[in-house]
A and B are shown apart, each in its own frame.
Chain A
């Protein structure tokens, strides 16, 4: 079942390759739709109240070194898989506009989808790493071939940054596998938990220093993807240059890989090191939130502004994680899901106006609300969702993260992070005013040049808006799905290690 889910896009890729170029778009949308449907049927089969992984498949792969093809999911992975298939589906629709080398584009798109899904289902570190890296290749080409004027620079910057993170991750993985003698993620997680319950602060690596080094290696590896300050500088370039659908996937799904890696691998493997580094991670998160928001405010390029707002919002993910509290980590996960749909929407909104105006200068727009009223409604919807207005998913995410952070050990820093929320509101409202309100310049008054949303744009924006609204009103659907691992496993282990580090008392 899961293998089918992961490799179905590859079948689509082969179909794309064999079919004539004009069919490529259709094949991509159909494949993404099938994958979405399949992921929903997986959802129906998973009982996320149950402990452990479900729909597991395990086959010996490279027996000589104990590597298995081992896949399986729990609610945590499931929530992100649903996000992935959903965002990919709407991005596939948004990809209709791509005219250059159509066949190659859709093949790369589908390869990317396989890599993303693979990361979320892999339960073997080798498999995880292979999928993790496989994503880089199509992304490099998608930015590099179909991107904007500085695409070559952006593509290689993205590639180098993430590969640098990846090799540190690989180094940490090798250390872990050397000590534990297994590549299995569930087994290593169990070992780390056992070490904690036995009061062994040295953890799976048998040494406090080595654990710390390995945790830092993994943290950097994942933080580059998130991207956390100070590893975020590839993101604005990649986003600005990437074509709209790829920006949507990049912000909607790829950034979530880093958070998933932290929750699934880095924190459970090295709970003591994670608690040790909590303050550091909190500080970096707060810098990302506040600094990201300030930089977003300073942008004149619409897309670049959205990109920096991603840096700022992903800071909440690490802030919630660093709190080590149940509600904080749940909030971090919620932020990932909420940001997934909201940021995809925001990039689509930039894409819509870029397609018409062929520029993204905030200062050159004005009064678009009077020309394209339906577009304006979606834009303000996305803006308010992103700045955390109650009723939208972003609000739930920020609220829970802050509650968690205030309950955690690093409250002072959480207070500073509140500043970020205010600045976020400021730049969104300012942009809303500059782009959509005020006087309409004459260039934008031509209705034939600036038609309101097309049917295809509706098809992209409406589902995203619906999910954002749904998640803002009924957060339990998503939260129940993923919280099992966090509540039953991660937080207890982190609490034990806090106890160990502070001298016995939990």
Chain B
């Protein structure tokens, strides 16, 4: 038995205990000690994951280590580390306490397990390991009523969708007679998938995933939770939590991708030539998610709520890649996620900094920021244009690859809906930019100019520089890498092209 594959998880677990202990021993007097330990342990886990043998070894048949698992582990660890930095610079607390760090580490541990899970039970456990610390992270600012409300909403929504998912899983396990994804993949070749029960189970399981990735109609929690939580935590949920949801979704859909046509009839089959139950669910969810996300974002007047709806819309684009399901589309999804990591973490970081500086997240308060706070506004503008999908930024090439894959599979109408959604999104992203740059006629002379503090500037550079650089150079290499990772996925029998 080769245990090496769970060493990153071990590192994280040891880190959780270590940080807890360090926090107790220093009694909060040396806050930098647990912070340093947390970052070291996140980066250590990421580094160790990169060193793993990715030949698809399994541990006890429930955890699998392939390139995909490694990528998502690294992705979530890096996001976690950035979140710690962002929390220190954001609007909520300057020195996150030990309990914050422990919860964050636990959530990352859950993500690590989720990315590696090859078994439905482990998958569910990992899901909960992410969810429960997240609930507390959201409600961390105990004195803030909004934060508490957000936490409660998150728990309620989470509990319901989790229960629905568990119910779906139990039906699925009953149908396939096993809990492993391998059993699911084998059952997918048999007529069992033509039973209505199978479709019902898939829809219910999707409810759980949809909650994590904030897809319509399980998205209602996101704006309230993102607005109530510290912006660094919102960024963590929008990036790492969403990525984990997609990773699990890819594993489960991948196992059933060869399932024969569902009993819903030929009508759906003609719309989705692949004829798999998932495609209908995913395509509808994708179109609804991006359209509703974008339309709702148009009305927002507060930066974090706006970013929340925008992150819902982005989940829609990513679902589109899953719905058409090809090697290229999955690679495009991975590629998109890397772009999304930089863009969205940067957006939430900048939102946090501006709320810290301005005392409010209202767009109207950002008036004239372009002249008063040159660096902040410039970074924000780059990130927002990138989120819109304009060249020469990372967001553009990510969207290009994604829609290229969608067109490649023959779904021109899905692609066009997605592209037009990009135009809608310009309107609300540009509202932020307009507030910063276009509305400054109150006073000709700016009151006082501010500069980003050095740590803020460094963190911004770390996140914004890739948005620029990958938009123009080097994204070819990243794309090649994404294709390699996707080719390595097990069970993706149906991935064509």
Contact = CB atoms under 8 A, between A and B. Distances in A.
A178 to B, nearest CB: 6
Interface residues on A, range: 35 or more
A137 B388 CA distance: 12
Nearest to A166: B423
Contact of A178 (B404, B416, B422, B444): B404
A137 B468 CA distance: 14
A44 interface: no
B171 to A, nearest CB: 40
B430 A159 contact: yes
B434 A170 contact: no
Contacts of B157: none
A9 B43 CA distance: 42
A103 to B, nearest CB: 11
A68 to B, nearest CB: 11
Interface in B380-428: 385, 390-392, 396, 400-401, 403-404, 407-408, 412, 415-416, 419-420, 422-423, 426-427
A170 B419 CA distance: 9
A357 interface: no
A225 B56 CA distance: 52
A144 interface: yes
Interface in B358-393: 371, 385, 390-392
A130 B392 contact: yes
A145 B438 contact: yes
B321 to A, nearest CB: 14
A45 interface: no
A178 B391 contact: no
A134 interface: yes
Given A62-B475, A101-B371, A141-B437, A171 B422 contact: no
Interface stretch (B133-141, B197-205, B476-484): B476-484
A64 interface: yes
B476 A133 contact: no
B26 interface: no
A501 interface: no
Given A130-B392, A134-B391, A171-B415, A163 B438 contact: no
Contacts of B420: 164, 167
A167 B400 CA distance: 10
A65 B408 contact: no
Nearest to A126: B400
B412 A64 contact: no
A168 B475 CA distance: 24
Contact of B480 (A64, A141, A151, A156): A64
Given A101-B371, A160-B423, A65 B476 contact: yes
A465 interface: no
Interface in A46-71: 61-65, 67
Nearest to B477: A64
Interface in A157-176: 159-160, 163-164, 167-168, 170-171, 174-175
Interface of A is mostly: helix
Nearest to B444: A100
Chain B interface residue bracket vs A: 20 to 34
A116 interface: no
Nearest to A177: B404
A144 B434 CA distance: 8
B367 to A, nearest CB: 12
Contacts of B423: 160, 163-164, 167
Contacts of A141: 437
A327 B94 CA distance: 71
A62 B423 CA distance: 26
B407 A178 contact: yes
Given A144-B438, A152-B438, A178-B407, A133 B430 contact: no
B439 interface: yes
A62 B430 CA distance: 29
Contacts of A133: 390-391, 396
Interface in A133-159: 133-134, 136-137, 140-141, 144-145, 151-152, 155-156, 159
B370 to A, nearest CB: 8
A178 B408 contact: yes
Contact of B390 (A61, A65, A67, A136): A136
A174 B401 CA distance: 10
A370 interface: no
A151 B412 CA distance: 36
Nearest to B426: A163
A140 B437 CA distance: 11
A100 B370 CA distance: 13
Contact of A167 (B408, B419, B475): B419
Contact of B385 (A62, A137, A151): A137
A100 B426 CA distance: 26
A96 interface: no
A64 B391 contact: no
A470 interface: no
Interface string A165-199: 00110110011011000000000000000000000
Nearest to A64: B476
Given A130-B392, A160-B426, A175 B475 contact: no
A141 B434 CA distance: 9
A307 B422 CA distance: 29
Contacts of A152: 434, 438-439
A413 interface: no
Interface string A387-403: 00000000000000000
Contacts of A62: 475-476, 479
A62 B400 CA distance: 13
B29 to A, nearest CB: 46
Given A64-B480, A167-B420, A175 B412 contact: yes
A129 interface: yes
Interface string B423-458: 100110010001001110000100000000000000
A168 B476 CA distance: 24
A64 B430 CA distance: 32
A137 B408 contact: no
Given A65-B479, A151-B438, A140 B430 contact: yes
Interface of A: 61-65, 67, 100-101, 129-130, 133-134, 136-137, 140-141, 144-145, 151-152, 155-156, 159-160, 163-164, 167-168, 170-171, 174-175, 177-178, 213
10 contacts: A62-B476, A130-B391, A137-B390, A155-B434, A160-B426, A163-B426, A167-B423, A168-B416, A174-B403, A174-B415
Given A101-B371, A152-B434, A171-B419, 8 more contacts: A62-B479, A141-B437, A144-B437, A152-B438, A163-B423, A164-B420, A171-B407, A174-B403
The 5 closest A-B pairs by CB, nearest first: A64-B476, A62-B476, A167-B419, A130-B391, A144-B438
